[in-house]
């Protein structure tokens, strides 16, 4: 499968690129080509030094989207609208995975959803018809994901309105050993899943923990 990761030079984007590039063709997207290429050179070196072969390419966001079957939107909330506007001419019938969490720091971290209720529903309103949006990967530790030697044991909550797209994302979760996909409900439920991210950060800070994730038991 061809996967574009927009924001692929960031923390969770890095982890997804490293984990998926051994099984899929990955395009790391950025607003700046040089930044994407520098990151992919580093990712490729990490994978090759660990004995893995990979297919990974650095692109500007529109080029990454134009080649992809699945697009991961892993950009800060404040850049969502401008990013979608840039890639919109290249969107067809792809699946988009939103990892976006609107939050702010005010001594501690707070979930700050838009008027629509959550980032996912707002993003859906910006997409052209035919593009299927799925919300996932919000509560996965980016640090653990990017350490390919680290064994993972975390659940990934999936929210979406299209069964076929949900199943594709579920399979992509399973492609990363130690991650377990769990359906959380339709897209509007994403508000509850997104809000867990600042909660986990606060728990880590106040309890002196690092890189928390979730496992349902």
Q: Is residue 214 part of a domain?
A: no
Q: Is residue 217 part of a domain?
A: no
Q: Is residue 212 part of a domain?
A: no
Query: What pTM value is reported for the model?
Result: 0.96
* Residue 8 pLDDT level (bands cut at 50, 70, 90): confident
47, 17 Cβ separation under 8 angstroms: no
120, 137 Cβ separation under 8 angstroms: no
Cα gap 86→194, rounded to integer Å: 24
Strands of 34-173, DSSP E: 55-60, 70-73, 95-98, 103-105, 109-111, 132-135, 154-160
Select from 7, 29, 35, 5 the least CA-distant residue to 17: 5
Torsion sign (Cα): 206, 103, 115, 120: negative
pLDDT in tens, 109-125: 999 999 999 999 999 99
Tokens representing 41 are 């050179």
Domain containing 177 equals: 2-206
Tally the residues of the chain: 217
Q: Is residue 113 part of a domain?
A: yes
What's the confidence (pLDDT) of residue 84?
97
Q: Is residue 169 part of a domain?
A: yes
Mean pLDDT across the chain: 95
Say how many domains are in the chain. Answer: 1
Q: Is residue 47 part of a domain?
A: yes
In order, the DSSP letters of 169-194 are HHHHHHTSTTEEEEEEESGGGHHHHH
- Reduced to 3 states (helix: H, G, I; strand: E, B; else coil), residue 39 is helix
DSSP H/E element including 4: strand 2-6
pLDDT in tens, 76-121: 999 999 999 999 999 999 999 999 999 999 889 999 999 999 999 9
Q: Where on the phi/psi map is residue 130: left (φ > 0), alpha (ψ -120 to 50), or beta?
A: left
* Residue 112: CATH number of its domain: 3.40.50.720
């Amino acid at each position: 499968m061809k996967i574009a990761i927009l924001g692929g030079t960031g923390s969770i984007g890095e982890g997804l690129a490293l984990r998926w590039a051994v099984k899929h063709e990955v395009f790391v997207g950025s607003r700046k080509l040089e930044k994407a290429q520098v990151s992919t050179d580093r990712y490729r070196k990490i994978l090759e030094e660990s004995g893995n072969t990979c297919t990974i390419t650095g692109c500007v966001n529109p080029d990454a989207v134009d080649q992809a079957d699945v697009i991961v939107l892993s950009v800060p909330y404040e850049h969502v609208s401008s990013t979608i506007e840039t890639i919109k001419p290249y969107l067809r019938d792809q699946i988009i995975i939103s990892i976006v969490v609107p939050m702010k720091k005010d001594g501690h971290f707070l979930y700050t959803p838009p008027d629509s209720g959550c980032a996912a529903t707002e993003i859906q309103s910006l997409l052209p018809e035919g593009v299927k949006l799925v919300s996932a990967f919000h509560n996965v530790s980016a640090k653990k994901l990017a350490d390919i030697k680290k064994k993972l044991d975390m659940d990934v909550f999936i929210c979406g309105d299209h069964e076929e797209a949900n199943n594709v994302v579920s399979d992509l979760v399973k492609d990363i050993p130690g991650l377990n996909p769990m359906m959380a409900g339709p897209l509007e439920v994403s508000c509850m899943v997104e809000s867990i991210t600042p909660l986990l950060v606060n728990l880590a800070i106040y309890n002196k923990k690092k890189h928390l994730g979730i496992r349902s038991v």
